[in-house]
Amino acid sequence: MTKVRGDIYRAQRAYFERAYETGEHGWPTDGVSPMVARFLRTFRGRDRRVLDIGCGEGRHTRAFAGAGALAVGVDLEPKALARARVSVDRGSVRGLGFVQADVFALPFAPKTFDVVLDYGCLHHVRRRDTGRYLEQVVPLLKPEGSFLLSCFSTKFKHHAGERRTRDWLVHRGHYDRFFRRADFDAMFGYEFDILEVTEDRDGLYVFHNVLMRKRKGGKGHRAASGRTIGPATR
């Protein structure tokens, strides 16, 4: 485990900048997750708006645009977006856009999106900032919209023999959080029906893939701060 002085998010930005500079990071640049592949089998993209949070090089954003949706990817890291925009510049996929934005300050109106996808961003959000994340992300989804979330399971290991005494760590200058099944009920149960949770292993890497549907007239999510975020407060 690495010790980082000062602001972990500042260190984390430097980590992602380096990752996209070198292209030598551990996550795929093409293809889609098994959950996204399953979802796309029955997805009709026409007139649908999709938001891909922490889109990286845009592999999932491209896949949704390829299925006919208007898909926008947001990421904090300009070097990731420069790589993602190559496919826009080629003009090979229509309905595709990328915006530089922080998940804590998303520049969209409430109820804009039919689908929100987060593959690998939430697990870089400190536990104490979960409420801030939810306050930004949840209102953007329309009632009955789908939320596809992929994040580290507590069974995830960076290397064989890794031992952890808690559900987060700071690793090579960035924050990683590891999730249990019950965390999704606690975080999303107020506002979403949780339709499917799978735990998928690829070697040492174990992810939770969670498919949720936002309830019509949900009760509102109780943020980490204790404040209820619901229709009355939006």
Ligand X SMILES: C[S@@+](CC[C@H](N)C(=O)[O-])C[C@H]1O[C@@H](n2cnc3c(N)ncnc32)[C@H](O)[C@@H]1O
Interface segment toward ligand X; rule CB under 6 A; list 62-70, 76-84, 178-186, 195-203: 76-84
Contacting residues for 55 by C-beta, under 8 A, at least 6 apart = 61, 73, 74, 75, 80, 81, 84, 98
75 scored as a contact of ligand X (CB under 6 A): yes
Query: Contact between 60 and ligand X (CB under 6 A)?
Result: yes
Q: Could you tell me the sign of the dihedral formed by the alpha carbons of 30, 149, 2, 84, in that order?
A: positive
Confirm or reject binding of residue 54 to ligand X (CB under 6 A): yes
Which CB contacts under 8 angstroms, 24+ apart, belong to 184-190?
184/149, 184/208, 184/210, 184/212, 187/130, 187/134, 187/221, 188/147, 188/212, 188/221, 190/218, 190/219, 190/220, 190/221, 190/222, 190/228
Q: Is 214 in the site for ligand X (CB under 6 A)?
A: no
CA-atom Rg of the chain in angstroms: 17
User: What is the nearest approach in angstroms of ligand X to the Cβ of residue 26?
Assistant: 8
Query: Under rule CB under 6 A, which residues in 106-125 are in contact with ligand X?
Result: 119-121, 124
- As measured in angstroms, the least distance from the Cβ of 64 to ligand X is 12
Where is 59: in which H helix or E strand?
A: helix 59-66
If one asks whether residue 76 binds ligand X (CB under 6 A), the answer comes out as yes
Please select the residue that binds ligand X; options are 50, 63, 80, 151, rule is CB under 6 A.
80
Identify the residue among 35, 50, 51, 55 touching ligand X (CB under 6 A).
Answer: 55
Q: CA neighbours within 13 Å on the CB side: how many for 193?
A: 9
Closest CB 231 distance from ligand X, rounded Å: 26
* Contact flag: residue 63 with ligand X (CB under 6 A): no
With CB under 6 A as the contact rule, which of the stretches 75-83, 140-148, 151-159, 197-205 interacts with ligand X?
75-83
Residues that bind ligand X (CB under 6 A): 16, 27, 54-56, 59-60, 75-77, 80, 102-104, 119-121, 124
